[in-house]
Every structure is written in structure tokens, then in C-alpha cells.
Amino acid sequence: MAAEATGERPAFPHRHLLGIEGLSRRDVDLILDTAEALRDISQRRIKKVQTLRGRMVVNAFFEASTRTRVSFEIAEKRLSADSVNIQTTGSAMQKGETLLDTLQNIEAMRPDMVVIRHWCSGAPQFLARHLRSAVINAGDGQHEHPTQALLDALTIRQAKGRLDGLRVAICGDIAHSRVARSNALLLRLCGVEVRVFGPRTMLPRGVAEALGVNVARTFEEAVEGSDVVMMLRIQKERQGADMFPSEREYARRFGLTPAALERAAPDAIVMHPGPMNRGVEIDPVVADGDRSVILDQVENGVAVRMAVLYLLSGPHDAIE
Amino acid sequence: MLEATDRPAIDARPAGLLDAGPVADRFVEKQVLMDRQAIDRALRRIAHEIAERNGGLEGVRLVGIRTRGVDIARRLQSLLAGTEGAEPPLGELDIALYRDDALSGLRLPEVRPTRMPFDVEGTTIVLVDDVLYTGRTVRAAIDAIMDFGRPRSIQLAALVDRGHRELPIRADYVGRTVETRRDQSVLVRLDERDGVEKVAIREPAEGRDGG
């Protein structure tokens, strides 16, 4: 039947979603297509289906986050999963201990899935090795933020009708950004030409080779002819004062203004993972302008997370 | 299951058959139940019955269950346009999220878009599927429709009713009722999707254990 009749795609062949690294193009397409199909639930009068009824999800956030956590929570509710939140912002001194202790506690709650955000790179991998549940990485240190990259790809695909052959500029703090890393990995996987640019102090050496992206020498060069301009948030909380001169200086040299956007393709779209520093990395006129798809990104975030929860809820025959 | 819809059949039983490889290897065609002409006649009659029973098409909405239910609903739509002079609006339903075996089954069904381009509130929904078997698909489809609102009523049209119901569900419009054994499958092939037009019964090949 099914498989024979239309060559239906198999279930998602991974037990966890730890990063974009390790996913195939086919996996990405399956997630995006599933998200597309699930999007309409959020537009219905009854914004809920029973699909994950009786499944339990633990949202373990070891780093302050409102929008990602809320987005996951909404996705879980739309699918009728039961969810609980654990939030701790433990100090660096306690890290090994805290994570192991918490792990035991989480396991005792017998969750089907664990969504984890952690300031330490690799924490989701660590959990995945020790937990029986499926683990979803909601951002770990400077490593990966796969659902962000997936929702960005969905937003681009909706606006442009495709991914292959597009040109995307990612600008800002490349060094500290897991968003940049996951996005670069995913976009390269999907045949997108990626250019990155940022202050010299925020462009890690060897980034071009590591991620398969081009490093632009100037902001203008990065934006020139781009189909998508993706601005990253300056993470004030994550870096010392010596990384960039001042907010005003940053805005002048690295901020996306209407004038800077002129250089992009005529139908270019503007993206930002949020929360925005208005007037720093992005001019409010651009953020609120008709090229901005920033609110579409938020809406797609729920759909992509629903898709990931759904796909990881299935039977796992092995793999990974 | 093995109703030859390309929805992974909800009625999978025995479960072991599901992953046993391509159906073509395990089933042989036993008998053609309906040819092009018979399918066409059956659908014309169903279209006529829908209009007759509802006193026209006022408030009537067709909702096809993916995949071939949608194809059949489209045909009913154009047949009704021809005889009644008005096209009833058409919805496309994917029931993956509503299957009762979705999370316990052997494979996770692929979710495809549901399109309900009208308000279901107060309407008469005619659900359309190719094969009616255990009734579980229809149960899932009813749940899916209810999530969009409260229709005045829901009716059911099926090209083939092959029996073996596991739920208290019956069709209001049936193209052909046929007695089958559970180990047989009913294959529906339609021009627009398969380039062939027929309904056939298939059964496990001789000398094979069927998984």
C-alpha cells in the first residue's frame, strides 16, 4: 500500500534533533513540508489537535529564554501534549553536577521528549546519551539552534518559493551565534550561497572553511544582490565591552538601514531571529518595513516545532 | 488496510504485513470489480443521490479524504456542476493527525495539508472516500471536521464498501458493495492519479505467507 503507491516518505530517521549537522536534505524537506501542513492548525478557530495526547514533554531551560520557550510550549499545546517547564540558571561552578542531577530528575518524570536550552555547548548531546526520551536542542551555547534555522528556512521558502540557488547574507555576531552556525549549515545543505559579515572581532578565523560560506569584506559586499538579509542580534549579555566600540558606532557600520538594504535584490526579504536591538543591528524603518518577514518567522517557529515534535514522536527502528 | 489508497491504511491488520515490502510482490489481482464505465455510472448515481437527498446543493460541501477520496470528490463536484448548475465547494482532508494508530503504528504517517476553504459551521458535509472498510478512517475524518466547527450534518460517500466494520459507521452513498475477506485488498486506480481506471480485488499470492 502506502509506500508502494506513491513512494511515501518514511518516518523521520532520527531519534533526536540535536543539530542541523547530521541531517540530510531529505530530512530537512520532510520537516519543512510537515511544518507547512501543520501551519493551518494555528489559523483555525479550534487551534488544537489530539495527536500527542498522553505524551509528555519536559521543557528544560538552563538559560533565559522567553520566545523560544513560549514557541515550544504553544507547539506542544497545539498537539495536545502535556508539558512541564524546568527553569534554572545555575552558576558555572555547579554545571556538571547540576546537569547530572537534573538529568536524573527529568528521567524520573518519564517524559517522552525533552526540549533543552543550555548555555553549555553539547549539553543536548550529553542528555541524549543518557536519557531514554527523544531530545530536542533548543539552543546550546555557541553550538547549534536547529529549530531556529529550520523556521528561517521555512520562512525563506515561503517567500521565495525555493531554497536552491538563493543568496543569503548573514550579518552580525557570527562568532557567538549558534543561529548563524545552524543557519549556515542548513542553507548550505539546501544549495544556498551564504555570505557572512560582521565586525572583525566577531568573525571567527576559519569560519569560511568550517561552514562552507563566503566571508564578505564589507557590509555592502555582503548585502549586494542578496535575496535574503539576515541580521543577527548583538548579544550584549554574552560579550565584553571590547568586542565592538559602541552601539551607535555599531549601528553606523554594521546596522541594516534602508540605504544599506538598497544594495540587496529588489525583492529581498529581511530577517531577524529576535529579540531585536532596534536602532543597533537593525533600523526600525527596516524592521517594520514591507520587506521584513520577522513576524512570519515567529509564526513559522510554532509550525516547525510542531513538526519536529510530531516527527520525533514516531516509532524509531534504530538509527543514530 | 491495503485498500490501495496511498494513505498508509489506518486499518492495518495483521500489522506484520505493513512492513513486509511492496504490495505488488505479495498480492495478485483476483477480480476486476469495476471498470471505467462502472465507476462512471456509480459516481453519476451518487452525485444524483446527493442532490436528491439534500433537495439541491444549498449548504452542501464536499470533503475528500486524501488521496483518492479527493480525486473522487472532484469528480462528484464536476458531475454536480453539470446536473445542478452549481459547484459545491470542495475541501481536502488529511487525517494523519487524527489516526488512532498514528503513534502506536509501525510508521508515522506523513502529514499533508488539509484545505477547508469554507466555514463548516451549519453546513452539510459530504465526506468522500474511495474504500470504506473498518470505519476508522471515517472516524478520524469526522474528528478532523469537528475541529473546524459544527456542521449541521455529515454524510458519507464511498466508491466501494467492502464490509468488516469495526465502528458503528455506515455510508449514505455507495458506488458498489462487495463481500471481501480480510486478507484481501481492494485496489482503486483512477485516471488522474494512476493513468488507469479500475477497482479490483487482490489477495495474497500463492506460496507466500504475506509477511
Q: pLDDT of B172-188, one tens digit each?
A: 999 999 999 999 999 99
Give whole-number Cα distances, B203 to A256, B23, B179, in Å.
65, 10, 13
C-alpha cell recorded at residue A3: 509506500
Rg over alpha carbons for chain B, rounded to the nearest Å, is 17
CB contact under 8 Å between A310 and B108, yes or no, is yes
- Assign B133 to helix, strand or coil: coil
Segment B163-171 mean pLDDT: 96
Q: Reply yes or no on whether the pLDDT at A8 is more than 80.
A: no
Query: Using CA atoms, how far apart are residues B114 and B98, in angstroms rounded to an integer?
Result: 12
pLDDT at res. A87: 83
Mean pLDDT, range B39-52, rounded to an integer: 98
> Which residues in chain A (47-86) have CB-CB distances under 8 A to chain B?
48-52, 55
Angle at A308 between CA A303 and CA A312, to 5 degrees: 150
Local confidence band at A202 (pLDDT 50, 70, 90 cut-offs): confident
Task: Say whether residue A3 is in contact with chain B using an 8 A CB cutoff.
Answer: yes
Nearest by CB to residue B149, choosing from A5, A6, A45, is A45
pLDDT tens digits, residue range A230-248? 999 987 665 555 666 788 8
For the CA atoms of B182, B184, B190, B193, what is the dihedral angle to 10 degrees?
Answer: 90
pLDDT given at position A1:
34
Residue-averaged pLDDT of chain B: 87
% residues pLDDT > 90 (chain A): 68
Burial of residue A119 (CB within 10 Å: 0-12, 13-18, 19+) is: middle
Measure CB to CB from residue B9 to each of A1, A45, A315 and give the nearest one: A1
Residue A95: pLDDT band (50, 70, 90) is low
**Structure pTM?**
0.86
Q: What is the pLDDT of residue B16?
A: 33
Confidence of residue A249 (pLDDT cuts 50, 70, 90): confident
Distance from CA of A315 to the nearest CA of B (A): 6
Give the model's pLDDT for residue B105: 56
Contact call for residues A220 and A263 (beta carbons, < 8 A): yes
Shortest CA gap B98–chain A (Å): 6
Q: What is the pLDDT of residue A91?
A: 55
What is the distance between the alpha carbons of residues B29 and B35, in angstroms, rounded to a whole number?
14
Percentage of residues of chain B with pLDDT beyond 70 = 82
Query: Residue range B15-23: average pLDDT?
Result: 40
The reported pLDDT for the residue numbered A139 is 97
Q: What is the DSSP string of B164-210?
A: --SSS---SEEEEE----TT-EEEEE-HHHHS--EEEEEEEPTT---
Q: Is A9 on the interface with B (CB under 8 A)?
A: yes
Q: Using an 8 Å CB-CB cutoff, list chain A residues near B103.
A: 51-52, 55, 313-314
Q: Which of A229, A273, A275, A237 is nearest to A255 (CA)?
A: A229
Min distance B113 CA to chain A CA atoms (Å): 4
Q: List CB contacts (< 8 A) between B143 and chain A.
A: 50
- Nearest by CB to B23, which of A4, A46, A48? A4
Question: In this predicted structure, what is the pLDDT of residue A318?
Answer: 36
Residue A237 grid coordinates: 549579555
- Averaged confidence pLDDT in chain A: 89
Biggest alpha carbon distance in chain B?
54
Q: pLDDT at position A52, please?
A: 93
A4 touches chain B (CB under 8 A): yes
Q: Is the ipTM of this complex over 0.85?
A: no
Question: pLDDT, tens digit, for every residue of A266-305?
Answer: 999 999 999 999 999 999 999 999 999 999 999 999 999 9
Band of pLDDT at residue A213, cut at 50, 70 and 90: very high
Could you report the per-residue pLDDT of A165-180, keeping only the tens digit for each?
999 999 999 988 999 9
Half-sphere exposure of B96 (CA within 13 A, CB side): 26
Query: How many contacts (CB atoms, under 8 Å) link A and B?
Result: 83
Smallest Cβ–Cβ distance between A10 and the set B4, B6, B107 belongs to: B107
Nearest chain B residue to A6, by CA: B6
Helix and strand counts by DSSP (H, E) for chain B: 5, 8
Cis check: omega of the bond before A284, within 30 degrees of 0:
no
Which residues from A are below 8 Å from B68, CB to CB? none
d(CA A320, CA A135): 12
pLDDT at B13: 37
Identify whether the C-beta of residue A8 lies closer than 8 Å to the C-beta of residue B8.
yes
The rounded distance, in Å, linking the Cα atoms of B8 and B111 is 11
Distance CA A59, CA A216 (A): 38
Interchain contact, B1 vs A34, CB within 8 Å: no
pLDDT, position A204: 83
Q: Are β-strands B90-93 and B60-65 bridged in parallel, bridged antiparallel, or unpaired?
A: parallel
Q: Identify the burial level of B157 via C-beta atoms within 10 angstroms of its C-beta, where 0-12 means exposed, 13-18 middle and 19 or more buried.
A: buried
Residue numbers in A near B94 (CB within 8 A)? 37
DSSP category for residue B61: E
Higher-pLDDT residue of B67 and B107 is B67
- Distance from the Cα of A32 to chain B's closest Cα (Å) equals 11
Which of B98, B107, B111 is facing A38, going by the closest CB pair? Answer: B111
- List of chain A residues whose C-beta atoms are within 8 Å of the C-beta of residue B2: 1
Question: Would you state the pLDDT for residue B5?
Answer: 46
Interchain pair B108, A315: CB under 8 A? yes
As a whole number of angstroms, the distance between CA B209 and CA B211 comes to 5
Residue of chain B with shortest Cα separation from A34: B111
Per the CB < 8 A criterion, the answer to whether A179 and A148 are in contact is yes
Cell of A188: 548550505
Instruction: For residues A245-253, give the mean pLDDT.
Output: 85
- In this predicted structure, the answer to whether residue A25 has a pLDDT above a threshold of 60 is yes
- Residue A40 near residue B46 (C-beta atoms within 8 A): no
Q: Is A38 on the interface with B (CB under 8 A)?
A: yes
Q: In the predicted model, what is the mean pLDDT of residues B15-35?
A: 65
Identify the residue with better confidence: A4 or A191. Answer: A191
- Whether residue B143 and residue A50 make contact (CB cut-off 8 A), yes or no, is yes
Q: What is the 3-state secondary structure (H, E, C) of chain A?
A: CHHHHHCCCCCCCCCCECCCCCCCHHHHHHHHHHHHHHHHHHHCCCCCCCCCCCCEEEEEECCCCCHHHHHHHHHHHHCCCEEEEEECCCCHHHHHHHHHHHHHHHHHCCCCEEEEEECCCCHHHHHHHHCCCEEEEEEECCCECHHHHHHHHHHHHHHHCCCCCCEEEEECCCCCCHHHHHHHHHHHHCCCEEEEECCHHHCCCCHHHHHCCEECCCHHHHHCCCCEEEECCCCHHHCCCCCCCCHHHHHHHHCECHHHHCCCCCCCEEECCCCCCECCCECHHHHCCCCECHHHHHHHHHHHHHHHHHHHCCCCCCCC
With H, G, I as helix, E, B as strand and everything else as coil, classify residue B161: strand
Condensed to tens digits (0 to 9), the pLDDT of residues A109-140 reads 889 999 999 999 999 999 999 888 999 999 99
Return phi, psi of residue A239, to 5°: -145, 160
Q: Give the helix ranges, DSSP H, for chain B.
A: 23-26, 36-53, 68-84, 136-146, 191-194
Q: What is d(CA B173, CA B151) in angstroms, rounded to the nearest whole number?
A: 18
Which member of B67, B98, B111 has the closest CB to residue A34? B111
Which has more confidence, A11 or A46?
A46
Distance from the first to the final alpha carbon of chain A: 28
B189-203 burial code (b ≥16 CB/10 A, e <16): bbeeebeebbbbbbb
